[in-house]
Amino acid sequence: MKLKTIVVCAALCLATPWALAETEHTLQTFEHTKAAITHGEMGHAPVLVEHAEAALTHAEAAQKAQSNPHMAEAITHLKAAIEHGKMGHADIATQHAKEAQRHINMANR
């Protein structure tokens, strides 16, 4: 019985850092995407790009830690937001950031 308890505790201790890292990356993805949307709605395409790039970095890290189809879709939309933001299309970039945010929310469920 003691050996079984030790094995379970060891497995939890090893898995917990990955789960916490994924959660932190997902939270940072959400926060940066939210900031990208805010700036995009104000027409600040360059600042939208900065936040979308930060969100993308965290989204990719979360996806690497735990594959999720919604996070994969969020990554696709963040890349599109960055692309359009770099072209100065704040309105289109904002729509992609909003779609990314929707998928981030679904990835968290």
| 40: CATH | 1.20.120.660
Domain extent, residue 50, equals: 21-107
Q: Which of 4-13, 32-41, 97-106 has the lowest mean pLDDT?
A: 4-13
Contact 39, 94 (CB under 8 A): no
Distance CA 79, CA 9 (A): 40
Within-domain flag for 41: yes
pLDDT digits (tens, 9 = 90+) for 35-83: 999 999 999 999 999 999 999 999 999 999 999 999 999 999 999 999 9
Q: pTM score, two decimals?
A: 0.81
Domains in the chain, number: 1
pLDDT at 13 over 90: no
